[in-house]
Amino acid sequence: MSLIITMYVREGIVMASDSRLTLSSERPDGQNRVVQAAVGLSDSNYKTFLAPGNIGVSTYGAADIQGVPIGGFIESFMAQRLASNPLPPEEAARHILAFFREMPTPPASQFHVAGYAQEGHDFDQQVWHVNVGDNTCSRLNPPGTQGASWGGEADILARLLQPVTVTDAQGKPQQPLPHHQMPWQFFTLQDAIDFCVFAIRSTIDALRFQPRPKTVGGPIDVLVIKPDTASWVQRKELHI
């Protein structure tokens, strides 16, 4: 599993992801499958990519295809489909969907695809969600709004952001805790960067102490996209 987050504010788009590659062992339980063990194999897995045309791509869900990390397939897609013909975000998202659906067994992978589509002198900020398993592609950000979308191991983040109620011994709601709505509309680009790192770092730190598989971890990659440029705020590098 993974955790990716994409924030869109007036100044630009921020995409962030963790780096852990986890191998899960499952067993059948009726019509469901139960995870018996989840072992972190690597903390050097790439999940966010910068494609030609200043298009950002983040992935979560199934992290391998026939035992090979999905990152190599994403890089192949960018080289084959986008290098000579950069596409606007929606077309790039639909091409990603088609690329992975063409495989003999389409993976249960999902993607965020983000960037800007130029319309005359204006730039339309777009964030798209691609679900290969469901064969769907949908827009995440209503035009002109600020906000955030995430995917993967997001239960810890959800508890931090959603209203919480204390229950009694029987599980009945008793007393709601104070809740402060996140003011997405006031976030600056730096706030968005800080929040993305906070969201993933908080998940990593919480998983450390919880008796559950450590499925989110490793370095946090952060990409910033603006109408005319894209750059890495931080990205792990190869080294000896």
140-167 confidence digits (pLDDT tens): 999 999 999 999 999 999 999 999 898 8
- pLDDT band (50, 70, 90) for residue 25: low
Classify domain 3-234 at the CATH superfamily level: Aminohydrolase, N-terminal nucleophile (Ntn) domain (3.60.20.10)
- The residue behind tokens 């950000």 is 141
Percent of the chain whose predicted confidence (pLDDT) is above 90: 80
How far is the C-alpha of 20 from the C-alpha of 17, rounded, in Å?
Answer: 9
Q: Range with the lowest mean pLDDT among 30-44, 99-113, 131-145, 221-235?
A: 30-44
* Closest among 1, 6, 30 to 16, alpha carbons compared: 6
Q: What is the CA radius of gyration of the chain?
A: 19
Q: Residue 174 has what pLDDT?
A: 84
Round the average pLDDT of the chain to a whole number and report it.
93
Neighbour-count burial for 165-197, b at 16+ CB within 10 Å, e otherwise: eeeeeeeeeeeeeeeeeeebeebebebbbebbb
How far is the C-alpha of 112 from the C-alpha of 7, rounded, in Å?
Answer: 11
How many other C-beta atoms lie within 10 A of the C-beta of residue 131?
16
**How far apart are the two ends of the chain, measured CA to CA in Å?**
27
